[in-house]
């Protein structure tokens, strides 16, 4: 039995380290629909861990503006997360209602996930581990950390919570 566990662990780690395409991953939308990242090939993807009760929550407005201005070139995906200061305590339906009522959010929203730690979602493992993204290691330090991936699935950059979604740092990458 020990040999099986060891072999299974080695195969799992090897598969993880060999899976270098972001397009190998999927997630559940805030409405419970399975979404494969394959459908976004040819567009950039901006991943943002979001929260409704954070000092950066106002960035929803700029994210929606970014979606409206650059939606043909980039897919925005908001990933609600309650790992930073318990600032996303609501259910998916509460989060969705909050975002639509207060910020008119129309961009894609995922179900609530973990972006760090033992329960880290596989997409965020790819975004934060160099053995998967082939660029570098990073940490999600707080809500509204942003990760940009290119049209061909390559990791472009990470932006801190303090970087406004409409900053030139991000928009120059979308032009």
Residues with catalytic annotation? 54
C-beta atoms surrounding 89 within 10 Å: 12
Q: Which residues pair with 98 in a beta bridge?
A: none
C-beta atoms surrounding 174 within 10 Å: 14
DSSP the chain: -HHHHHHHHHHHHHHHHH---GGG-EEEBTTS-EEEGGGGTTSEEEEEEE-TTSTTTTHHHHHHHHHHHHTTTEEEEEEE---STT---S-HHHHHHHHHHHH---SEEBPP-BSSSTTB-HHHHHHH-HHHHSS------STT-EEEE-TTS-EEEEE-TTS-TTSHHHHHHH-
Q: Which residues pair with 159 in a beta bridge?
A: 146
């Amino acid at each position: 039995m020990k040999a099986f566990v060891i072999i299974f662990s080695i195969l799992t780690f090897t598969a993880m380290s060999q899976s270098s395409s972001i397009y190998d991953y999927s997630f559940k939308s805030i409405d419970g629909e399975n979404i494969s990242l394959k459908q976004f090939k040819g567009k950039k993807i901006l991943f943002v861990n979001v929260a409704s009760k954070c000092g950066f929550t106002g960035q929803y407005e700029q994210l929606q503006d970014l979606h409206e201005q650059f939606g043909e070139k980039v897919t925005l995906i908001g990933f609600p997360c309650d790992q930073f200061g318990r600032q996303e305590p609501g259910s998916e339906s509460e989060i969705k209602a909050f975002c639509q009522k207060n910020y008119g959010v129309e961009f894609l929203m995922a179900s609530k996930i973990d972006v760090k730690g033992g329960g880290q979602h596989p997409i965020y493992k790819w975004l934060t581990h160099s053995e998967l993204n082939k660029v570098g290691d990073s940490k999600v330090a707080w809500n509204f950390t942003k990760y940009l991936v290119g049209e061909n699935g390559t990791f472009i950059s990470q932006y801190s919570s303090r970087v406004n979604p409409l900053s030139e740092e991000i928009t120059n990458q979308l032009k």
